């Protein structure tokens, strides 16, 4: 899974890519309100494993699909 992002003030958009044997699916995701520097806190579980983030947002993120997935199939 890959993610590409562009920063523009507090709005963020990301392309999430899912690659399988014969198909590429691109999911354009957006955040209308991205957390600012003060909106993050240390994760109490951070460092317990490599799968836990060290910092987390104080309020849950609200990602949304900007448009439906784009599907590219191999021939």
Q: Which of 65, 1, 68 is nearest to 30 (CA)?
A: 65
In this predicted structure, what is the pLDDT of residue 19?
95
SS3 letters for 30-46? EECCCCCHHHEEECCCC
Q: How many structural domains are present in the chain? A: 1
pTM: 0.65
Blockwise average pLDDT, block size 10, the chain, 75 residues: 56 88 94 88 83 90 93 91
Q: Tell me what pLDDT residue 31 has.
A: 87
Question: Structural domain of residue 14, as residue ranges?
Answer: 2-73
């Amino acid at each position: 899974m890959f993610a590409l992002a562009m920063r523009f003030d507090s709005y963020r958009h990301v392309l999430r890519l899912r690659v399988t044997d014969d198909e590429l699916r691109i999911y354009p995701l957006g955040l209308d309100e991205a957390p600012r520097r003060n909106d993050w806190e240390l994760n109490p579980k951070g460092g317990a494993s490599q799968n836990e983030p060290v910092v987390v947002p104080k309020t849950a993120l609200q990602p949304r699909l900007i448009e439906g997935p784009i599907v590219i199939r191999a021939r």
